[in-house]
Structure 1
Amino acid sequence: MKLKATDRLMPSSDGSVRIEGYLGQRMTSCIHNGVMAANHALFQIPFRDKTDEGGSWGGEFWGKWFTSAVLAYQIEPTDHHGAILADAIQGLIDTQSENGRISSYENDFGDWDIWGRKYALLGLIAYYDLTGKKEALQAAVLATDELIRIAGPGQKKLTETGLSLLEALSSCSILEPVVLLFQRTNDQKYLDFAEYLVSLWSEPSAYNPNGIRLIEDAIAGIEPLKIASPKGYEMMSCYEGLCELYRATGRHEYLEAAIKFANLVREKESMIVGSGSSGELWCDGTKRQTELLEQPMETCVTTTWIKYCYQLLRLTGDPKWADEMETTLYNALLSAMVPSGNWWAYFSPLAGERVPSHMQVPLVQCSCCSANGPRGLLTAPGWAVMNDDSGIAINLYYQGNWSGRVNNGDEVGFEMETAYPEPDNIRIKVKQSKSCSYTIKLRIPAWSRQNELQVNGERIACIPGTYTEIHREWKSGDEIHLKLDLRGRVITAPGNINHKAIMVGPIVLALDSRLSDGEKHVSLWLDHQQMERKHNQDWNIDYVLLDNCSDQETYIDLVPAASKPEGVWMAFEVPFLIRPTHFVGHKESKLVMCDYASAGNEFNESNLFRVWLPQPLFMEQAFPKGTWHILVHSEDRPEIPDGTRQLEQTGFLSL
């Protein structure tokens, strides 16, 4: 069908992007050891046996895993992976009732009933999009028709279903697959149901006397913490659905609400590594991120933030959403995946230790974040290179290649050589069979203040925070050379001027206990460019005056570390100052800091880390200990599963 609002940027066709290098290796581990190694038959059990009737939420896992598996297949379209998808889709369809119902509950409207149905629908639609097989689409049609029969106008209001604590946000998020189904069938009843559901958001309900008001409050600039129930993951899922409804209707207030809410998340909730939440709730996290927050940055929030930003990048063409995704991808998201790729953290702190997720629903041998994390990671090829009416937009710089078509149908492509974001050099070599005219847009991140760009040796100016558009007749062998600003940047915490952090490009650095065997019993100050160095001839001493902890962004000289532990991606020597008293005894010191995703990646109590550095930093108290207790709230510290999710462990040998 023809949408009322079209995307400014469109994802490249499946399989057109091949990502290698560090990011490619992490994706491969996720696919082979996590997504495609999962025993997907377990995820069908809740639908077959209605095991969620007692209050569980096992119904969400099939759809989360399956949509990840579809992304994995698009990256590695092997016969083996295809067979896994076909088997899983048939397994779900086999649980569908004669009336079309697909649910993990015996009775309608259990706490997570509609939430689980949403994920089942997303999986069915994703398989139809991938294969064109009508059986999957028909199953989604029947399931949605049955939902409309029980929750359409005059029936049970979805805003009065699910957990009252969440004020029906989980149920309301079914908006997304309902609109996707309309877009694929052009059946007006699905659009009518979607708009009816959104109208309920503005009406009083048994859960909220004012209604959840996701549209009105976002447009009014109400901060996320004060909109409805502040459950970050479910709330953003509703706005994802609103983006799809905007495409279907063209109603500007839907897009306006989605953009304004996302900007509020950036301003009020996003932490330096690109995620937010405490205890899964919005928490004014931008200002509070230097605290030892309980259960910070749920991986489901991280994944959904990436998916939400992806929606807005498509709809607006604004590169700031790609900036956001890049930061989140390399920091909050990759830090949550254990090195082997078979499991994920539930929460990710900025200080202390990393803790793997507990086995949240033993019946399906999974946790919500371990099922959801891959959905964020494996979207990267979709937004790395995108199409628009004039050509292509390169959003992510990576080792690998891309091939596809531009708007006039010409086949084009390129090879990219870079280890970015560790070195600053990016080389893009055009590879195509014939010359043709189109535009290549290069994302210049907002943080990259000093840039060098050349095409075949000709210098081109570029502005931070924008796309640099190069329109010309491109021929095979043309080369683009881009150098971004990878100087170390000292960042001041928004809520505490005395706390500093260091970023290199999109990468947040952290102290790691494996790398910090140097100075003891001392207080250290970051030795950055705002420090004022003085020499007194009478006393023949050099001393340093502080910058009064200015909140001005400044730079710091970093040197790649000569050595680093196995499993650490990036490491730098960082200059610090020892200032034991006013003028006397000032001297330089060096500590090694690594990328946040590598920090603490042994996932044990002895491997500690921290991002925010109080000024001064007293080294004896640099690493908070025992923080797993505020991440898990259980008697036992979770362990990483061994990756063998066998049916024998559950007793379901008949599957």
Structure 2
Amino acid sequence: MVGIALALFAVAQVGPYRVADKLPDVFHESSPSDVHLGGYIGQRIADSEVNRLRTVDLKPLLEGFHHRPGSHPWIGEHIGKWIHAATLAWANERDPELKTKLDAAVKELISCQEPDGYLGTYTPDKRFGLYENADWDVWVHKYDQIGLLTYYRFTGYKPALDCSRKIGDLMIATFGPGKKNILSAGTHMGMAATSILEPMTLLYRHTGEAKYLDFAKYIVSSWEEPGGPKIMSTLEAGKPIDQVGNGKAYEMLSNLVGLCELARATGEKRYLHVAELAWDDIVKHELYITGTASYYEHFHPGTDLPNQTSKNVGETCVTVTWMQLCQQLLRLTGGAKYAEEFERSEYNHLAAAQKPDGSAWCYYTSLEGKKPYTTETCCCLSSGPRGMAIIPETAYMTGILDGQNTVFVNTLETSHATVNLPGSTTTVDQQSSFPNAGKSNITFATHFKAETPMGAAKLAIRIPKWATNFRADVPGTIRDGWYVIKPKREVTLRVHLSFDMPLVKNESMIGGETYLAWTKGPFVLCKDMSKAADDGLVRFADVVDDRYRIWLPTQPLATSAFQDAKESRSVEGNVDGSICDGDPGTFVVTFDGKKHESAWFALNLESPVEVSHFEFVQGGLFHDGGWFDSSVEPPKFEVQIAKGGKWMTIAPVVGYPKTTATDRGSLKAGDAFKVDMLKSVKVYGVRVIGTPACGDNPLQSFASCGELIARP
């Protein structure tokens, strides 16, 4: 995007900042109050506001501030996240019900601040340190500030700024040279604490008080201290992102977002360069096809990206913070590649983690398996709506191209934007059939407030990489991924766009085998495993209750004839897993706190299949059970010959080690035990049954199963 980036400079400022950019944005985001999205993503944004943000019970989120300590080490982060998302959503939708709730929440949070500025959820003896179950204090204050400063930005409510300022003063009084080291107050090599860099920099921008900028610079210097994450030096040395700190993705990305804010505030291009290095390495080595990163919540060496549910793929907090980094770099550089990756995440991993009606979110969203939506308070349930709420800010952006005001269009959804430029107001109205078809009509009009030497604004429409045969009926030039149109003065411009969204095949090597994934337009597609093989593909973002798979084998796999069959077990248990999803890590148990004589796990089909191979994969093992007691007899494979009929023993689980009710012997989670019969048998069902173990609690017993397989 070099051509456009060199030609652009700042033209406008969103928000009541007292300190101007020292490194001006190339692209300026729009206020969410000036952009209204319809279509596919617009509906997701609206549903997030109506069915999540508006309905959240705020009492549990504020309880820890009223009665310290809170119920969870980072319970305090949630109210700040909610205020951030709710403020942006209110600015976009102007929902009076949400505004009433928002105003009350802000006032209640502010009322909980102590005289010295403390606004966390810990008792005085466990503050700003790495205490047991009390080691997220600075992190919570970060989200307090993010929420309060966002609210102040859009409402001008000064007590919110004053509260945030008191937090900033407390940070300065507590940490710094000759005081406590901020690294000692944050998990993950201090990165949780140092991520307060973002709001402290914004606090400086809002107040103009240099002490907050000095503290932000101190944070960056602290990274290089002994035991610190060494974010700057590691990336500047050309090392990969997984070698920064301990590789914890969410916290690291949060620091990089803050570093971008500091670059903007100081003009220090070194900070921007480090963020760009990190972004480049993530795209090259860590990014999934769906636009998320991390498994087990960390970055990892190489390009091995596991897809299974048990690998804790794509934490929603990571997806959202990755989008924020893309947004920051898009603003600072104007690079179309950042808009491309923001869009990839928006339509895929973010939308896939959200239940389509907006009411629930996934903590992790794997590329195969089943989506674990939740409404139980957790970091990702609070982060997801923030991701949806920032989308309108990047849909329409402004800048200067060749000395002329330019509106940059980053969406092909039905939408409307009002853009205020020096001397004029420009409106953009887009009526689109996207994403169902590749057609859109844009009406672009500039209304002059006074004579301006810059004339009517240009229109620049991003040409997505996934769009082929992109055509416009108004002459323009293609420049660095943008279709640029220079309209005549005082003429309403109407542009008819057409483009193709072909089905695209993507290849990847997984475990030495070639797998394929399919995309159409911005959407990653997946196979709905509940449907017949010829039923085609669906959008990953739209799958709700069914099992799915994105990466599909090119050669038939030796899969179980009972994959995605109806599951049952002797006791429902307390683990929400599966024994027929191809992932032994998603085990189930028969635990209910009671003692049982037997435990079994079964799979059933509507129609019979012929099988001769049986396999049991051991699930999780615990101090109080999870295995079969084989001291009297080993567990057995049983089959159902008739639909709904009696279970018949077909073979023992050969090779199952010697165990007792209290000792699992050499057994390990994930151990597989296979039996091959000489002749196949036609069956409706298969199960494994045995005596459950009690471990160190003889008052109960239970077993565990990772996978149950039967095939020809």
TM bin, normalised by shorter chain, reads: 0.7 to 0.9
Counterpart for residue 498 of structure 2: 483
Within a 5 Å distance, the mapping from 1:331-370 to structure 2 comes to: 331-357=348-374, 359=376, 366-370=377-381
SS in 1 for 2:65: helix
Counterpart for residue 154 of structure 1: 178
Offset at 1:474?
Answer: 5.5
| 1:597 matched to 2:614 | no
What CA distance in whole angstroms lies between the structure 1 residues aligned with 2:375 and 2:493?
51
Query: Does the CA-based 8 Å contact 1:347-1:631 persist in structure 2?
Result: no
Within a 5 Å distance, the mapping from 1:203-218 to structure 2 comes to: 203-204=225-226, 208=227, 211-218=228-235
Could you give the per-residue CA deviations for residues 118-166 of structure 1, whole angstroms, max 9, x where no partner exists? Answer: 0001111111101112111111111110121111321111112223xx1
Offset at 1:203?
Answer: 1.3
TM-score by structure 2 length? 0.72
Change (3 A) 1:627 1:302: farther
* Aligned partner (choices 370, 379, 398) of residue 387 of structure 1: 398
Counterpart for residue 620 of structure 2: none
Counterpart for residue 330 of structure 1: 347
Q: What amino acid sits opposite 2:155 in the alignment?
A: T
Query: Does the CA-based 8 Å contact 2:286-2:300 persist in structure 1?
Result: yes
SS in 1 for 2:366: coil
* Aligned partner (choices 141, 146, 165) of residue 165 of structure 2: 141
What CA distance in whole angstroms lies between the structure 2 residues aligned with 1:492 and 1:513?
20
| 1:467 matched to 2:482 | yes
Q: What amino acid sits opposite 1:185 in the alignment?
A: T
Query: Does the CA-based 8 Å contact 1:290-1:499 persist in structure 2?
Result: no
Counterpart for residue 529 of structure 1: none
SS in 1 for 2:482: strand
| 1:321 matched to 2:307 | no
| 1:499 matched to 2:499 | no
| 1:241 matched to 2:258 | yes
* Aligned partner (choices 439, 446, 458) of residue 465 of structure 2: 446
| 1:609 matched to 2:548 | yes
Offset at 1:193?
Answer: 0.9
Change (3 A) 1:443 1:632: farther
Q: What amino acid sits opposite 1:212 in the alignment?
A: P
Query: Does the CA-based 8 Å contact 2:308-2:583 persist in structure 1?
Result: no
Within a 5 Å distance, the mapping from 1:621-636 to structure 2 comes to: 625-626=580-581, 630=585
Query: Does the CA-based 8 Å contact 1:413-1:430 persist in structure 2?
Result: yes
Within a 5 Å distance, the mapping from 1:423-442 to structure 2 comes to: 423-433=437-447, 437-442=456-461
Offset at 1:57?
Answer: 1.1
What CA distance in whole angstroms lies between the structure 2 residues aligned with 1:320 and 1:252?
19
**More relative contact order in 1 or in 2 (CA 8 Å, sep 6+)?**
1
Offset at 1:216?
Answer: 1.6
Any stretches of 5+ residues in structure 2 without a counterpart?
A: 1-18, 129-133, 450-454, 565-577, 593-712
Offset at 1:197?
Answer: 1.3
| 1:511 matched to 2:450 | no
Query: Does the CA-based 8 Å contact 2:362-2:380 persist in structure 1?
Result: yes
Could you give the per-residue CA deviations for residues 205-226 of structure 1, whole angstroms, max 9, x where no partner exists? Answer: xxx2xx3111121222221222
Offset at 1:82?
Answer: 1.9
Counterpart for residue 618 of structure 2: none
* Aligned partner (choices 90, 101, 110) of residue 84 of structure 1: 101
Counterpart for residue 585 of structure 1: none
Offset at 1:635?
Answer: 8.1
Change (3 A) 1:137 1:434: closer
What CA distance in whole angstroms lies between the structure 2 residues aligned with 1:328 and 1:40?
28
Q: What amino acid sits opposite 2:430 in the alignment?
A: M
What CA distance in whole angstroms lies between the structure 1 residues aligned with 2:194 and 2:251?
9
What CA distance in whole angstroms lies between the structure 1 residues aligned with 2:495 and 2:415?
15
Q: What amino acid sits opposite 2:470 in the alignment?
A: N
* Aligned partner (choices 48, 69, 73) of residue 66 of structure 2: 48
| 1:405 matched to 2:417 | no
Counterpart for residue 186 of structure 1: 208
What CA distance in whole angstroms lies between the structure 2 residues aligned with 1:345 and 1:290?
15
Offset at 1:630?
Answer: 4.0
What CA distance in whole angstroms lies between the structure 2 residues aligned with 1:46 and 1:216?
38
What CA distance in whole angstroms lies between the structure 1 residues aligned with 2:137 and 2:499?
48
What CA distance in whole angstroms lies between the structure 1 residues aligned with 2:73 and 2:523?
37
What CA distance in whole angstroms lies between the structure 1 residues aligned with 2:513 and 2:307?
10
Q: What amino acid sits opposite 2:56 in the alignment?
A: A
Offset at 1:249?
Answer: 1.0
What CA distance in whole angstroms lies between the structure 2 residues aligned with 1:226 and 1:635?
40
What CA distance in whole angstroms lies between the structure 2 residues aligned with 1:626 and 1:12?
44
Offset at 1:235?
Answer: 0.4
Offset at 1:430?
Answer: 2.1
Change (3 A) 1:35 1:627: farther
Q: Which of the pair has more CA radius of gyration?
A: 2
Offset at 1:285?
Answer: 7.7
* Aligned partner (choices 295, 298, 304) of residue 281 of structure 1: 298
Select between 478-487 and 386-395 the one with higher mean Cα deviation: 478-487
Offset at 1:466?
Answer: 1.5
Change (3 A) 1:214 1:221: same
SS in 1 for 2:407: strand
Offset at 1:170?
Answer: 0.5
Select between 6-15 and 302-311 the one with higher mean Cα deviation: 6-15
Q: What amino acid sits opposite 2:297 in the alignment?
A: E
What CA distance in whole angstroms lies between the structure 1 residues aligned with 2:280 and 2:587?
30
Change (3 A) 1:90 1:631: farther
Change (3 A) 1:391 1:451: same
What CA distance in whole angstroms lies between the structure 2 residues aligned with 1:416 and 1:283?
42
SS in 2 for 1:437: coil
TM-score by structure 1 length? 0.78
Change (3 A) 1:467 1:633: farther
Query: Does the CA-based 8 Å contact 1:421-1:507 persist in structure 2?
Result: no
Could you give the per-residue CA deviations for residues 419-448 of structure 1, whole angstroms, max 9, x where no partner exists? Answer: 323311121122455695211111112333
SS in 1 for 2:483: strand
Any stretches of 5+ residues in structure 1 without a counterpart?
A: 360-365, 519-589, 638-655
Counterpart for residue 29 of structure 1: 47
Could you give the per-residue CA deviations for residues 461-491 of structure 1, whole angstroms, max 9, x where no partner exists? Answer: 536x622222232555422122234111111
